[in-house]
Chain A
Amino acid sequence: MTWQRETFKKIKQIPREEHVLPGTALCAGCGGLEALRLAAKVLGDDVVYVNAAGCFTMLAAYPFTPFKGSWLYTTMGSAPAGAQGVRDALDVLIAKGRLPKEEDLKVVVLGGDGSTYDMALSSTSGAITRKLDFYYFCYDNEAYGNTGAQLSPATPYGARTTTSPCSLQHPSGTTQEKKDIFEIWRAHKPPYIATVAPRYPLDLEEKFARAAKFTGPKLFLALSACPTGWLYDPGETPEVAKLAVETGLWPLKEAINGEVTHTYIPKRKPVEEYLKLQGRFRHLFEPTRQDDAIRHIQARVDEYWQQVKG
């Protein structure tokens, strides 16, 4: 069964109105901002963003905010708990008649991969277990980006970060495998989780539209290609994202009540094409080519898609 988009079939259905306005301090070519901007076109303005420490912290920097909606900066480790407080308070105030129903807001956590994959995991797990009705938008740039690209639990094998440099002992740089946060979420059985990549805007918009039907925790894991941390030219952000998807490294998928559907089946270009674009993988190709490391990355992707075809 192939996945069908129902709401967003053509690119000209992307809403024209902007909900995250320009003038922010985020890097030129930020893949995370690209994803958030598209997400906000479906989420609209009746939103309170509950932000965790990360690159997005700088979206709302006194005295400027890019949002027409609301914003609360919390901490790196507890944005989902902040969402809990906001959601519960809105519910209580509406129930008690102190807030009209039409004043209600969607509660959207914004977290980078550092917060999402590690520090806020307890807080997130608690929120999902409590069936909190919220969106979780993770901009995954596979490193602690706001501090200059250090190793995070989302950093993939073979990437070089400032705290996983390549050396004689560790020629591949990062030796860990990227943590599978999608499966960690899925184990909690929330109603909706999805991966998105802004280079596939209709897939992204459709997923936000689909998620709106579900009450409860809704995760969006957004591939956030990062020119600053991944070391490529900012104009190549969509190209990098495209290759992440086309090589199969970043599967586009959703899970509704735990059941996974891949929303796009790539033909699977060799991973090399993706790796070669980025400075963080340059050591795999020069001064000497590290065939073992490249094969390792390819094998992991092949293994994944083998299991998908199952």
Chain B
Amino acid sequence: MEGEMMTGNLAAAWGARLAGVDYVPAFPITPQTEIVEALAKWCENGAMAARFVTMDSEHSMMTAAGAAAATGARVFTATSSQGLLYAIEVLYSISGWRVPLVLVNVSRALAAPITLEPDHNDVLASRDCGFLQIHAETCQEVLDSILMAYRIAEDERVMLPVIVNLDGFYLSFTREPVIIPDPEQVKLFLPPFRPAHLGFKASAPHALGVAVLGGTPYSYFRHQMHLAAMNALDVHREAAAAFEQLFGRPYDVVEGYRLEDAEDVLVMTNAFASKGKGAVDVARAEGKRVGLLRLRMIRPWPADAICHALQGRRAVAVLDQNLSPGQGGILFQEIAACLYHEALRPRALCSFIGGLGGKNISEGELRAIFEQTAEAGIRGKGIGPVLLYTEAEHREMVQLQVLAAGSRAES
């Protein structure tokens, strides 16, 4: 086996190190902390030629990150969950400045109730802020995506920041073999950072992020961010081609798994997609024609690639590891919207909610998804949102509630 065993967090740190970043403002938060610990060590011992600064909050951290990138430095930072939401005001500023830094988010469910394990409500809360989003399934993909993220972000056709997302625990603390790309090859892949519109200096003063009065300029600039994000689809394709040529690993905005003759398709993101692929294999062995579509790029939304993968299927199930209370799964809505105009759209679209707060999604639950989705396809009517929650989990929950209530009788 090639490479070496490392966690998703260490792979993220390696991505920043290989990208030759100049600056790392940091703030610890579980389950991300290991990333900044590794970077602190490397900045200190000279393995990286970057300045590492521990900030006073994620809000300050993101501000420093954006301001440094606006000054012309290549910047990396990382956070998670509450930290991401604490900084979210600044995310909008940074994308508005059109500053191309890379932020790793290690997904973790949001309080309240406070918890540590992952789901995707944190990263999807930043869905509309103008950052591009790449969601990784493996530790290798975390590292590779960070390198690609810089190349895409710094392209003049894009100039937007990127979030690379990985799941807390299931990737952040999980070790698996990762190939560390050759630094010289990385230099070929990633040209130096020389943005035309950024960089404060005495000889060329400029004002950035200035107020605009009235909707005319505001609409214009906000729409430019949209066009820039849409350009990232082409730029990603070019970057992926160059990456494959140099490093031999192909990436696309979506990844199809055993889709070729699949009747029913399960849509997933992030680390649990590995489990989804396992469930596809089991079902295939039983002769069921199922496949999996993993969304890798969430922003820009790869509508064409998604439609291409899902058109003509009998039924599609979207497994959202997030919940928008009062609406359901966030990605389900987006999938449904982009399939609307497909003449060959699936007969049924099913919405499943699973893995909230890091809850496991068992093989049995995945099997239930395939069964219910097949039935929906036959019926020609979708279902959901259905929360993946087993009888055993329900029993466990009741016991916890009994303990929490103690002797006080509350109804």
Contacts and interface: CB of A to CB of B under 8 A. Distances in A.
Interface in B13-62: 22-23, 25, 49-51, 53, 55-57, 59-61
A90 B261 CA distance: 56
Interface in A70-88: 70-75, 77-86, 88
Contact of A88 (B57, B64, B202): B64
B205 interface: yes
Contacts of A98: 72
Contact of B57 (A60, A93, A122): A122
B205 A68 contact: yes
Contacts, number: 162
Interface in A251-281: none
B56 A125 contact: yes
A83 B67 contact: yes
Nearest to A61: B211
Contact of B206 (A70, A78, A80): A70
A69 interface: yes
A102 interface: yes
Contacts of B97: 72
B73 interface: yes
Contacts of B142: none
Contacts of A69: 205
A104 interface: yes
A81 B56 contact: yes
Contact of B207 (A65, A84, A88, A96): A65
Contact of A93 (B56, B64, B73, B93): B73
B49 A96 contact: yes
Contact of A72 (B53, B67, B73, B90): B67
A58 to B, nearest CB: 6
Interface residues of B, number: 44
Chain B CB within 10 A, most for which of A46, A67, A99: A99
B211 A72 contact: no
Given A62-B211, A89-B67, A105 B23 contact: no
B68 A86 contact: yes
Interface in A94-127: 96, 98-99, 102-105, 122-123, 125-126
A123 B73 contact: no
A92 interface: yes
Contacts of A50: 67
B213 A61 contact: yes
Given A75-B90, A75-B93, A123-B63, A89 B72 contact: yes
A85 B63 contact: yes
Contacts of A126: 55-57, 60
A58 B59 contact: no
A75 B89 contact: yes
Given A85-B25, A86-B70, A92-B73, A77 B59 contact: yes
B210 interface: yes
Given A85-B23, A93-B72, A45 B205 contact: yes
Contacts of B25: 81, 84-85, 88
Contacts of A123: 56-57, 59-60, 63
A258 to B, nearest CB: 21
Interface string A269-303: 00000000000000000000000000000000000
A85 B67 contact: yes
A96 B72 CA distance: 12
A99 B72 CA distance: 9
A250 B284 CA distance: 80
B203 interface: yes
Chain A CB within 10 A, most for which of B75, B211, B217: B211
A48 interface: yes
Contacts of B207: 60, 65, 67, 70-72
A84 B64 contact: yes
Contacts of A247: none
Contacts of A74: 63, 67, 90, 93, 209
B202 A81 contact: no
Contacts of B57: 122-123, 126
Contact of A86 (B71, B211, B217): B71
B205 A70 contact: yes
Given A62-B211, A71-B208, A86 B200 contact: yes
Interface string A31-49: 0000000000000011010
A57 interface: yes
A74 B90 CA distance: 8
Contacts of B205: 45, 48, 67-70
B341 interface: no
Interface in B353-376: none
Contacts of B209: 72-74
A33 B355 CA distance: 55
B201 interface: yes
Contacts of B297: none
Interface string B58-90: 011101111111111101000000000000011
Nearest to B205: A70
A239 interface: no
Contacts of A70: 200, 205-208
A91 interface: yes
Given A85-B68, A86-B68, A89-B72, A62 B56 contact: no
A210 interface: no
Contacts of B50: 92
Chain A CB within 10 A, most for which of B59, B65, B210: B210
> Top 5 A-B pairs ranked by shortest CB distance?
A85-B67, A126-B56, A81-B60, A89-B71, A85-B64
23 contacts: A45-B205, A46-B202, A50-B67, A58-B211, A60-B210, A61-B210, A61-B212, A61-B213, A62-B211, A67-B205, A70-B200, A71-B206, A73-B93, A73-B209, A74-B90, A81-B64, A81-B67, A82-B64, A85-B65, A85-B69, A89-B22, A93-B72, A96-B22
Given A50-B67, A84-B63, A85-B75, 18 more contacts: A62-B211, A70-B206, A70-B208, A71-B210, A72-B200, A72-B208, A73-B210, A81-B59, A81-B64, A81-B67, A85-B23, A85-B69, A89-B22, A102-B202, A103-B201, A103-B202, A123-B59, A126-B57
Interface of B: 22-23, 25, 49-51, 53, 55-57, 59-61, 63-73, 75, 89-90, 93, 97, 199-203, 205-213, 217
